[in-house]
Amino acid sequence: TAKIHRHIANQRKDFLQKKSTEIANQYSFVCVEDLNMKAMANRGFGNGKATLDNGYGMFLTMLDYKLRDRGGQLIKVGRFFPSSQLCSHCGFKNPLVKNLSIRHWDCPNCGKIHIDRDVNAAKNIKKEGLRSLTA
């Protein structure tokens, strides 16, 4: 069984190496959310140890050194930045979106309808990362 575990670990590392190289070759600056993986594993999302096994920290380490080697930068946005709560169009903060079961929402401020929670968060992380880069 140790041989199987080693094989799986090597497959994960190979995938992470290839994906981080692909991203570093395509982009100069990458903005990510600085997630607390230990807290996510313990919070009861139903994933438990699988959250820690996904290699996110290892992936960010690989991506960081590859971007720096190419003259780029990995920008980490603080974990308390409300990326999913802010409307990426007008900046309105919707506290109701703290509820993780809400996957789409409509902005009462600017009228943007059917905002996808994850796409919206990604736009806000990019915007905040680039803002912090120029600050």
Instruction: For the chain, give the longest Cα–Cα distance.
Output: 56
Between CA 99 and CA 95 the distance in angstroms is: 8
Residue 15 has pLDDT above 90, yes or no: yes
**Band of pLDDT at residue 55, cut at 50, 70 and 90:** confident
Taking CA atoms, 42 is separated from 12, 46, 95, 100, in Å, by 23, 9, 24, 16
Amino acid occupying residue 43? R
More confident residue, 37 or 6: 6
| Amino acid 57: pLDDT | 86
Residue 41's pLDDT band (cuts 50, 70, 90): low
| Portion of the chain with pLDDT greater than 90, in percent | 74
Locate 108 and state its tokens. Answer: 């009462």
